[in-house]
Structure 1
Amino acid sequence: MFYTRTTDLVQRLQAARRDLALEAALAKLDRFDLIILDDIGYAQKDQAETSVLFELIARRYETRSLAIAANQPFSAWDRIFPDKAVPVAAIDRLVHHATILEMNVDSYRRRAAAGRTTLEVEGAATTTDSLADNHDHPASDNLAGKTKENVTT
């Protein structure tokens, strides 16, 4: 299993493409039965980024598993990818054998922030936790976001 932010992996794959080593970089990822891509819809991607991302999705289609966490529903992916054909082809491959979990729950970060109070100390605002040592977050909270997320395998 390999977990990464989508942006980080895309940057590594783009560097591999520039070095004419994309095939080797993708082959190295084949050793993982599961790759988890986090924050796929965090920012709009350019053509070069979506190209290497699609290469990864296409390569793993029907051979290895991908889990994808996105803060955008599939219907909004055309705003993330500049070439409108790419999200259609990518989603087609992702959902073909997928289990899709769509969550609409509060973010654990937002809950933690709501539990804090602001104190006025000599003209400076200071934030404190209202719950002592509330730094552990259940694994299920780590998949949650304020908007719907799609997790696909």
Structure 2
Amino acid sequence: MNARRGVTEEAAVAAIDSACRLLRLPTIRARFADIAADSQREQLSYLGFLAELVMVECEDRDKRASARRITAAGFPRTKILADFDFTANPAIPAAVINQLATGAWVKAGQPLCLIGDSGTGKSHLLIALGTAAAQQGYRVRYTLTSKLVNELVEAADDKQLSKTIARYGRVDLLCLDELGFLELDRKGAELLFQVLTEREEKSAVAIASNEAFSGWTKTFTDPRLCAAIVDRLTFNGQIIETGTTSYRLEHSRAARSSQ
């Protein structure tokens, strides 16, 4: 594509590079020469060439924004649904998980409970569904339940509790892992209840727990508070029981027997 009005090819390239820097269009800056060559070879119109430029910039910008949301979520490791082996745990309904992957429940502000023994895929699903939500544009935050409670206790001591609860209230999806793993004192349980109440019927909460609801009284020792928390996490929500057979244990046994 020839430069117009007597501008040399070199000057046009320099002007585009400078303008892309000024307008913060890194993908166009990096790829405009290759796209121009491809467009000339394919005899695209000027509008077609411009469409190619803006589309690659938008696509790359979406990818960068998605990566930032995933990083901000604080996932401890990378887990995606494509890597989940549904055949290893038939108790988990693939159709339901794939429906959850659409993110409709996050948009509706509904809760999700993943209940089952260690090694049955709860954390994988929790992180993978949270990652899928982040890729779809939702603000996500992952944390261990004990870590969240400790943060809330410290915030209360520093008179920053309202700000901390509000910060957790602003994310679209809060993923709480290992709920029920440790006993919480009354203060910690009450602070967690405040966070759940802040999000009730407005923003989604997903939890993974190795205890059935009947065993949550070991974590929340006040029966009334325990019942209220269960109510917050189950009303209009989805409950998925991942079972009792550890995939990791079976995998380890199979690996040893094959040696």
Q: What is the TM-score normalised by the length of structure 2?
A: 0.43
CA separation in 2, counterparts of 1:93 and 1:104? 23
> Where does the alignment leave 5 or more consecutive residues of structure 1 unmatched?
118-128, 132-153
Decide which structure has greater helix share: 2
CA drift of 1:109 comes to: 3.1
The C-alpha deviation readout for 1:57-93, integer Å capped at 9, x for no partner, is 1111111110011111111111211211111011112
Asked if 1 retains the 8 angstrom alpha-carbon contact of 2:184 and 2:220, the reply is: yes
CA drift of 1:4 comes to: 1.0
The answer to whether structure 1 residue 80 and structure 2 residue 227 are counterparts is no
CA drift of 1:31 comes to: 2.4
* Alpha carbons of structure 1 residues 82 and 115: separation in structure 2 relative to 1, 3 Å: same
Asked if 1 retains the 8 angstrom alpha-carbon contact of 2:180 and 2:218, the reply is: no
Superposed, 1:44-123 pairs within 5 Å as 44-115=183-254, 117=256
Match for 2:193: what amino acid?
A: F
Q: Indicate the residue corresponding to 2:166 in structure 1.
A: 27
4+ runs deviating over 2 angstroms? 105-109, 111-117
CA drift of 1:110 comes to: 1.8
Share of identical aligned residues, percent? Answer: 33
The C-alpha deviation readout for 1:127-151, integer Å capped at 9, x for no partner, is xx968xxxxxxxxxxxxxxxxxxxx
Q: Indicate the residue corresponding to 1:126 in structure 2.
A: none
CA separation in 2, counterparts of 1:14 and 1:34? 22
Larger radius of gyration: 2
Over the aligned positions, Cα root-mean-square deviation in angstroms equals: 1.9
Q: What is the TM-score normalised by the length of structure 1?
A: 0.71
The C-alpha deviation readout for 1:21-79, integer Å capped at 9, x for no partner, is 11100111122100110010101111121111111111111111100111111111112
Q: Indicate the residue corresponding to 2:153 in structure 1.
A: 14
For 2:155, what is the secondary structure of its paired residue?
A: helix
Corresponding pairs, count: 120
